[in-house]
Amino acid sequence: KLPTKKMLLSLIALLSAALLASAAPPTCYSRVLSLSKEITESFKELQTSKDVDSCVETLPRLYLDIHNYCVLAKLRDFVAYPRCDTVLEVNELKEKARSLYTILISYCRRDLVFLTDDCNALEIPI
């Protein structure tokens, strides 16, 4: 009976540690990384959707690499793009892009390191 009780206590301790580890707040970097991936995926889905307005084809490309300094200009250009304002999905995507831009220039300004400033690299996804 004793080994079973020890195993049960060990299992409870292990699960408690796992819960605490997953409850840690996201870092600025992890938040920016996940939001940029979310935006890039949403843009891909928008481009391939059959139900969206034809103006979506004219949107600036939105491949994001948060390690590239040009991502700031890319986000500004996308948010400021004047067309497709009547398309809900585009407005939602612009709002996410605006949030990412704000996080990058305000909250995470000192936490991020840009490894490159190659703007052409943001035109063609890897």
Q: What is the pLDDT of residues 66-77, one digit of tens each?
A: 888 999 999 999
| Whether the Cβ atoms of residue 70 and residue 122 lie closer than 8 Å to each other | yes
DSSP tag of 61:
P
- pLDDT of 22 over the 60 cut: no
3-state secondary structure of 116: strand
Give buried/exposed letters for 16-47 (b at 16+ CB in 10 A, else e): eeeeeeeeeeeeeeebbbebbeebeebbeebe
Q: What is the pLDDT of residues 76-120, one digit of tens each?
A: 999 999 888 888 899 999 999 999 999 998 888 777 778 888 888
Q: What is the pLDDT of residues 46-73, one digit of tens each?
A: 888 877 778 888 888 888 988 889 999 9
Non-local CB neighbours of 23 within 8 Å, separated by 6+ positions? none
pLDDT confidence of 3, banded at 50, 70, 90?
Answer: low
What is the pTM for the complete model shown?
0.74
| Whether the Cβ atoms of residue 109 and residue 32 lie closer than 8 Å to each other | no
